[in-house]
Amino acid sequence: MLINFEGIDGCGKSTQIHLLKQYLEEHGRQVQVYREPGGTSIAEKIRSILLDSKNNMSVVSELLLFSAARAQLVQEKIIPALNDGVTVILDRFYDSTTAYQGYGRSVLPIDEICVLNKMASYGLVPEITFYLRISQKLASERRLKHAQDRIEMAGNEFYSRVLDGYEKIIKEHSRFIVLDGAQPIESIAKEIRTHL
């Protein structure tokens, strides 16, 4: 089973993924968690290029690098894990590319990004996608706790386009389960468990 978590930076994905992994393992499920971009040695190298705030990167390079990191992770880790019956939980998947490089950067056609997403994920489609909905204000308060990476430096207008973009994506796919990310950690975790 393939599950991904989506939402803007600071929405609480990592926190919920950690709790869900614990819960599923307590119930005898084998679980692997990967964060995107990353999860393999090649993808972690690509991650450091993508997030380095000193890099001045073209939008197309950014799109292709996120996709390259994903293709490596899917081929090297996700497909073998799914074949072994493991539950794979992803901290972001191609919905992030549609939201950030597509709607956020807003210079490339969304349908072309979707074609690339399909290629980079070898056609895999998650069974469930949890979207943690949170306001830009709350997300930025939570993000203050750590140094900003290159994507986070893109600013408020960028984030507002990403948020609007996610709302459009959610409407198009029935696999999305929308959660109120402003709720306490335990109530969100409880709701997530009802879907598994």
- Round to whole Å and give the CA distance between 181 and 8: 10
Which of ligand ADP, ligand TYD, none binds 151 (CB below 5-8 Å, type-dependent)? Answer: ligand TYD
Q: Which is nearer to ligand ADP, 10 or 37 (CB)?
A: 10
Nearest to ligand TYD of 159, 189 (CB atom): 159
Residue 80: cis peptide before it, omega within 30 degrees of 0: no
Tell me the two tokens of residue 159: 């984030």
Contacts of residue 93, Cβ cutoff 8 Å, sequence gap at least 6: 4, 6, 36, 70, 121, 126, 129
**C-beta of 121: minimal distance to ligand ADP in Å?**
20
In 35-184, which ranges are continuous DSSP H helix? 41-51, 59-73, 79-83, 94-96, 110-120, 136-143, 156-172
Task: Out of 21, 29, 133, 142, name the contact with ligand ADP by CB under 6 A.
Answer: 142
- Which partner, ligand ADP, ligand TYD, none, binds residue 155 by CB below 5 to 8 Å per kind? none
Which tokens sit at 164?
A: 């609007």
State yes or no: residue 161 binds ligand TYD (CB under 6 A).
Answer: no
Question: Which residue number, 103 or 130, has a Cβ lying nearer to ligand ADP?
Answer: 130
Instruction: DSSP letter for 152, please.
Output: G
Sketch the per residue contact string, 90 through 119, with ligand TYD: x for CB under 6 A, - otherwise: -xx---xx--xx------------------
**85: which residues sit within 8 A by CB, 6+ positions away?**
30
Please choose which of ligand TYD, ligand ADP, none residue 188 contacts, taking the beta carbon within 5 to 8 angstroms, the exact cut-off set by kind: ligand ADP
* CB of 12 vs ligand ADP, minimal distance in Å: 3
Cβ atoms of 91 and 34 within 8 Å: the answer is yes
**For ligand TYD, which stretch binds (CB under 6 A), given 7-15, 119-127, 171-179, 183-191?**
7-15
State yes or no: residue 45 binds ligand ADP (CB under 6 A).
no
Record the tokens describing residue 13, joined without a space: 């994905």
- Binding positions for ligand ADP, rule: CB under 6 A: 7, 9-15, 142, 145, 183-185, 188
